[in-house]
A and B are shown apart, each in its own frame.
Chain A
Amino acid sequence: METLYSVTVGVLTACSVFLILRGRSFPVVVGITMLSYAVNLFLFSTGRLTIDGAPIYGTQETYADPLPQALVLTAIVIGFAMTAYSIILAVRARGEIGTDEVNQQDNSTEGNR
């Protein structure tokens, strides 16, 4: 299970990194969002994987580690704030500059597309 989990996180990371390296703002924003999923999964897993162990009194014999869960919960909300912010930045940039390219236009001589 751990192998499967870590491979999934790795793939998720790789795909988001690929998107973040694109030349237009929209894929970059999507990449950032997806990367935050990957990061959340990663952080969550520092408490190790437990099945049927929700940290709620009286439901289980052993409990999963609650601390990473609490941290990731706030991370999800902060991640949302960041996504929202980058979205508005992207829209604003397109409104102001008239393009959604993430590279500065006047000296992009090397075909940075």
Chain B
Amino acid sequence: MNLLFIIFAPFFGALLPLLVKRASRPVKTGVTLLVPVLCLIVLFQYAPATLAGDVPKQMVEWLPSIGLDFAVRLDGLSLLFVGLILGIGVLIITYAHYYLSREDDEARFYACLLLFMSSMLGIVMADNILLMWVFWELTSISSFLLIGYWFHSSDARRGARMALATTGAGGLALLAGLLIIGSIAGSYQLDDIFAAAEQIKAHAYYVPALILVLLGAFTKSAQFPFQFWLPHAMAAPTPVSAYLHSATMVKAGIFLLARFHPVLAETELWFTLVTLTGLITMLVGAYFALLKHDLKGLLAFSTVSHLGLICMLLGIGTQGAVIAALFHIINHACFKAGLFMTAGIIDHESGTRDMRKLQGLMSLMPITATLAMIVAASMAGIPPFNGFMSKELFLDQALQQHLFGGLSWFIPILATVGAMLSVAYSIRFIHDVFFNGEYKELPKKPHDPPRMMSAPVVVLALLCIAIGLAPMTMVSGILDQAAAAVTAAPVEVKLSLWHGFNIPLLMSAVAVIGGILIYLARDQLFTFNRQFDGQDAKHNFEHIIQKVSDAAANFYERLDTGSLQRYIAFVLISVIVVLLPSLSDLSVVTGGKPQLPVDMVSMVGALVLIGAAFATATLHRNRFVMLSMLSVVGLVVSLAFAHFSAPDLAMTQLVVEVVSIILMILELFFMPQKTSRASSGHRVFRDIIIASFIGGIVATLNFAILTSPFESISDFFLANAKSGGGGTNVVNVILVDFRGFDTLGEITVLAIAAAGIHKLLNKLKPFMPSSDIDGRPWHRIKHPLMLTTVANIILPIAMIVAAYIFLRGHNLPGGGFIAGLIVASAMILQYIANGVDWVKERFNVNYQSLMSFGVMTAALTGIGSWVFNKPFLTSWFTYLEWPLVGKFEFATALLFDLGVFLTVVGATMMILSNFGKMTTRHRPTHEGH
């Protein structure tokens, strides 16, 4: 068996209850219980080694490059916590079996619970602090799911969110702290860190590291001032509260303090921060616990208080204090889990948890009452229960410390006050619910629960008694090892119920008497506190969250007005603001490269281009005119490519231009023909300013680039196109060979766009004009004879041209892109001239398949080179002798180009034919405006 099993069993075991979702509840509970029970069996195999002083370890490499390994250990501290987590876990699952109502989805509950269990086990067993942090965050997430289990209730959702926000933020602080510690120690393994303890304490970053780690611990353990989230986590089902508050979650913070005790403690700062935080938390928690009318609220704040007590002991940090802290962790887990379960039983049986409504239940639920009294007495620190002993130890430590010099005396006094309040709320829990007069009418007539539901409480109550009576047999072995792990020195624990008459006993007696007095005077306390109503933590937290989210919403609303114009203007203005200063810093934009002389053709071309561009912009309200002007722009751009030695570009641009203008005319059919309302004057003015600036910046940059001399990497392509790629058209060789992978990506994008368009057109109901812009109906002859005849003649010619262009592509301008677009335009002409149905009758090709086939061809050509043990897309070419034709080059790049060709044809046709179909599929409607 393996240590890792203990962590992974519940992690993967979380699937078990989901797998048997349809089975009955006992089956689900059974398989869930199986997991921690198996883990306990494994644990028992390792425990003797740990109790003998060894530390069993196990490691699996995970991400060694960042120092994150899956390393686990089982030292005394881990063993103590693993035992608590698994042991209490078993009880909680048993209890939940009876607690959850018929409507609750118990499979989900068990799954989350096991997941949470696994994360907790991961924290306490991790030997690598980064691994510990991973599990730390997992507890935040899984506890979020548990607290929000009843997600239909807004309280549950809010409580879960609050817990997640607080502990999650603390987790991030913790990560930062752990990274600092790790970098000082040079390793994230615990043993290395323990070895580097002195170095860490002496380091300049010790203070930030300590504060960050404490932030993590205090948020998790709900220490002041982060105590607010814990009471709101009460919205969780009671088994969850019982688990979170006794053995897990909040104990994780305490565990962290204990774990890093050898590394971070015994400095002035640690004493002050941890002890004072613990003290304040203990008092604040105890005070609020007394005021709560809700049973679970009382218990929640008492948890806060007891965690403060443990925290304070760890802050004092002497051997005795550490023993007391660890002992109290066990005791608190026992009595608090029991108390929560009791509260759950009362709630379950009577339908309320409000102590103002509950009273006199003793006669109706005698067993529950007895159990409650035992665990509550333990919480109050009454002998002979276990809580008494750890409280005595605590009071003793409070007396012995000398942390605050001459002011040290106030600590034992405040400690006694804390113990007093603890007694008072314990009495309140018992007296208000079970006594305090006769039974009053309640939503349900309560009675003792089924025996198995109270069984977990019985176990816990027995533990309280057993530990109280025989502490040495019960816990001293584990405490020895756990305290040794925390103090990094061998420890021998001596515990006994009776210490003789001494000051701690006197303090205990004072606490009990004072507690009773406080309880009797509770009404005055309630009245006193009423003036602070509305100062509720939830309110404050919600208020802050509300304010932050309001501010964000406000900001967002100003930014996000739903106006595309505004967004674009915002982006463009930012571009101007960012670019202008650096551009104005340039003293010269002219590089050293001499300019080419301006020839007549270029001059005319540029003037036409500029004129057409202006016309497109200014005449935009008449959309058809704008489109015509745009086509002029596109045409001249393709001429410009031709002029500047880019024949491939010129051809591509020309065909793309044809196809996109057709597409836009189709669009115009569904759109208003004119832009009815113009923008307001000042907006037009603003846009002109923005446009001029952007245009100016682009022109300047372009000028600067054009006039500076440069070294191109293209010499490689020019030199190797023929010898390496077997083609003389360097542009095409780059596309299908050197940079074939880019092209493959690009045709994939094209295919995705086409598929996206196909989807967008699905169930589209476009506006269908019934007449043209001047109100004339469409001509009755849909397919003019002249066009039909010409189109039919052009089609075969276009096919031959495309084939020619495609085949010569490797050596002369052309290739798959251009050939594909030529075929596509010829086909579109058929659609325009003869209509969709006509084409479909004669040429029924599924363009989607064509397109996919194209992408597949290109990809498979690339994969093909693997067969020859070459990298992806390595090309191969040879010269074949073909009778009659002569010598003939065959390159695998041609196959690739065929893929490009098919994709382009398929995608273009898919877009246009699908869109074109819209014009005939629907009945005309009248324009919206």
A residues adjacent to B (C-beta < 8 A): 1-30, 33-34, 37-38, 40-42, 44-58, 60, 63-67, 69-70, 72-74, 76-85, 87-92, 94-95, 98-100, 102-104, 106-108, 111-113
Contacts and interface: CB of A to CB of B under 8 A. Distances in A.
Chain B, interface residues (CB within 8 Å), range: 35 or more
Contacts of A85: 753, 756-757, 760
B92 to A, nearest CB: 51
29 contacts: A1-B598, A5-B602, A12-B610, A13-B695, A15-B613, A17-B691, A19-B616, A20-B568, A26-B623, A30-B627, A44-B644, A56-B813, A57-B722, A58-B728, A64-B644, A66-B731, A67-B717, A70-B735, A74-B743, A77-B746, A83-B664, A91-B671, A91-B915, A91-B918, A94-B670, A95-B765, A103-B565, A111-B680, A113-B679
Contacts of A107: 561-562
A1 B671 CA distance: 40
Interface string B44-68: 0000000000000000000000000
Q: Which residue, of B572, B627, B767, B813, has the highest number of chain A Cβ atoms within 10 A?
A: B767
Interface stretch (B315-323, B344-352, B701-709): B701-709
B238 to A, nearest CB: 46
Given A15-B614, A76-B653, A113-B677, 7 more contacts: A10-B702, A22-B687, A33-B630, A34-B633, A57-B722, A70-B735, A74-B742
Contacts of A63: 645, 718, 730
Contacts of B707: 2
A26 B621 CA distance: 10
B721 A91 contact: no
A46 B714 CA distance: 12
B100 interface: no
Given A9-B702, A80-B660, A112 B691 contact: no
Interface in B19-57: none
Contacts of B670: 91, 94-95
A31 to B, nearest CB: 8
A40 B637 contact: yes
A82 to B, nearest CB: 7
Nearest to B613: A15
Q: Which residue, of A14, A30, A113, has the highest number of chain B Cβ atoms within 10 A?
A: A14
Contact of B698 (A33, A42, A113): A42
A18 B691 contact: yes
B364 interface: no
B569 interface: yes
A81 B764 contact: no
Contacts of A108: 561-563
Nearest to A24: B675
Contacts of B675: 22, 24, 26-27
A14 B841 CA distance: 47
B563 A103 contact: yes
Given A21-B687, A48-B593, A88-B761, A10 B698 contact: yes
B104 interface: no
Contact of A87 (B664, B749, B765): B664
Interface in B615-644: 616-617, 620, 623, 626-627, 630, 633-634, 637, 640-641, 643-644
A94 to B, nearest CB: 6
A48 B706 contact: yes
Contacts of A51: 596, 643-645
B871 interface: no
Interface in B639-673: 640-641, 643-649, 652-653, 656, 659-660, 663-664, 666-668, 670-672
A44 B655 CA distance: 18
B742 A87 contact: no
A17 B904 CA distance: 29
B132 interface: no
A106 to B, nearest CB: 8
Nearest to A9: B702
Q: Which residue, of A24, A29, A99, has the highest number of chain B Cβ atoms within 10 A?
A: A24
B458 interface: no
B694 A14 contact: yes
Contact of B702 (A45, A106, A112): A45
Contacts of A55: 645, 718, 729-731
A22 B565 CA distance: 7
Given A64-B646, A103-B563, A70 B596 contact: no
B587 interface: no
Contact of A54 (B561, B602, B766, B813): B813
B660 A84 contact: yes
Interface in B316-361: none
A108 B680 CA distance: 14
A17 B602 contact: no
B562 A9 contact: no
A54 B641 CA distance: 10
Contacts of A2: 593, 595-596, 703, 706-707
B812 interface: yes
B257 interface: no
Given A30-B616, A67-B734, A77-B656, A11 B667 contact: no
Given A19-B616, A95-B764, A66 B699 contact: no
Contacts of A79: 656
Interface in B550-609: 561-566, 568-569, 572, 593, 595-599, 602-603, 606, 609
A67 B732 CA distance: 10
Contacts of A42: 698, 701-702
Given A2-B706, A64-B646, A66-B731, A113 B609 contact: no
B771 interface: no
A77 B714 contact: no
B731 A41 contact: no
A30 B643 CA distance: 25
Nearest to A63: B718
A76 B717 contact: no
A28 B568 CA distance: 11
A56 B812 contact: yes
B712 interface: yes
A12 B731 contact: no
Interface string B370-407: 00000000000000000000000000000000000000
Q: Which residue, of B679, B722, B731, has the highest number of chain A Cβ atoms within 10 A?
A: B731
Contacts of A103: 561-566
Q: Which residue, of B645, B653, B735, has the highest number of chain A Cβ atoms within 10 A?
A: B645
B754 interface: yes
A81 B750 contact: yes
A21 B569 contact: yes
Contacts of A104: 561-563
A50 B642 CA distance: 11
B596 A29 contact: no
Contacts of A72: 646, 649
B678 interface: yes
Contacts of B904: 77
A15 B422 CA distance: 77
